[in-house]
Amino acid sequence: GANAAQQGTTTAATATAAAPSSIIQAYPPTNSIIITAPEPTYRALRAVIDKLDVRRAQVLVEALVVEVQTGRAAEVGVQFQGLSGIGRDGRQVIGGTNFSTSPNASTTFGTNIIGLAQNLASLGTGLNVGVVNGTISIPGPDGTNIEILNLGVLARALEGDAGVNVLSKPNVLTLDNEEAKLLVGQNVPFITGSYTPTSTSATNPFQTIERKDIGLTLRVKPQITEAGTVKLSIFQEVSSISRDATVKGADLITNKRSLESTVLVDDGQIIVLGGLIQDDQQSSVDKVPLLGDIPFLGSLFKYESRSHKKTNLMVFLRPFVLRDEGAARALTADRYDYIRNLQGTMGFERNLLLPPVAPEQLPELKAK
């Protein structure tokens, strides 16, 4: 067969330039070409077909998608809470400060003293110092009493730095001059329309939904040049559902960062594409009126949180040209042995009370 036969439909053409009776017909199911022509014309066409019908090289593209975050976050504040037991007349005295400790709904700064009194597991990171004096019974909505901590004072301090987050490390193998696509994510429904009938209508209400891919998308099309270099047409996108969005499909908001480029790279060379920077600054101050404005002493009656984060999305690419079966087999064996050796290092720590469990391991790859 020949590559010229991969046109999708059966075609027939008359080679009038070679001879009036010459007929060339392509048969895609078997990737074949049927030629009806005199002997000299057939030999000339066969020489051209032999040059076209060759084994196409393959390209393995290794990708590394990384988020490099440079930022700092800081929190400091003091909260008070005072609860007294229920007196003989059924009255109870409460008092204190209860700061939200969150600039907006998309962040999770701080620890709320009321929530912490009900659940110690909600204690946030950083330095937390509190004073507890027993528990207090609070009547619940169903008539039963709820026991919560009598947490009188909570002081909190936190300072943190951001780092590097590897989003994905995909590998795609494709033919020369053929596009490959890789998607790691979810298929999320979005409401695009709805119909609500009137009270007199018998038609049922309905909604129209469109599904979209959310996650990491990588499309790459390699083209091997005569000099041995690889031309890469790249499209890369990282999308996610915004935390500020509601659970309804019509109110979903997506965050999207995409990159599209064409580069020229040598076989086995690593290139980096980046520059998709996202800058996020947030600050919040909760305080008691008047008391929070007192110099020095006012720090006991307010809660401050600040954060500044820059996120730089970088994509590392490295193509490998596989021109024959031997190169493909060697690369497959190398990756197979890597996974097999990695499985050999994985295991459980020895425990005198538990029997040893050997990790599963791939069988040894036999060379043909």
Share of the chain above pLDDT 70, in %: 63
pLDDT score at 1: 44
Cα 173 to Cα 61: distance, rounded to the nearest angstrom: 6
Q: Are 75 and 158 in contact (CB under 8 A)?
A: yes
Q: Are 228 and 321 in contact (CB under 8 A)?
A: yes
Per DSSP, the three-state class of 150 is strand
Angle at 192 between CA 190 and CA 198, to 5 degrees: 125
* Mean model confidence pLDDT for the chain: 71
Q: Are 190 and 25 in contact (CB under 8 A)?
A: no
Q: How confident is the model at residue 230 (pLDDT cuts 50, 70, 90)?
A: very high
Cα 84 to Cα 97: distance, rounded to the nearest angstrom: 15
With tokens 């919560």, the residue in question is 148
Distance from first CA to last CA of the chain, Å, rounded? 27
Other beta carbons less than 10 A from residue 110's beta carbon: 25
2-11, 83-92, 210-219, 329-338: which has the highest mean pLDDT?
210-219
- What are the pLDDT digits (tens) for 49-60? 888 877 888 998
Say whether pLDDT at 309 is over 50. yes
What single letter denotes the amino acid at residue 188? V
Say whether pLDDT at 32 is over 50. yes
Q: Are 148 and 138 in contact (CB under 8 A)?
A: yes
DSSP assignment of 25-64: EEEGGGTEEEEE--HHHHHHHHHHHHHHS-PPPEEEEEEE
Other beta carbons less than 10 A from residue 301's beta carbon: 21
pLDDT score at 93: 47
Better-predicted residue by pLDDT, 88 or 163? 163
Q: What is the mean pLDDT of residues 240-254?
A: 68
Cα 150 to Cα 114: distance, rounded to the nearest angstrom: 10
What single letter denotes the amino acid at residue 179? E
Helix (H) or strand (E) holding 98: none
Nearest to 249 by CA among 214, 215, 217, 210: 210
Residues present in the chain in total: 368
Strand order in the sheet with 230-241: 180-195, 206-224, 230-241, 254-265
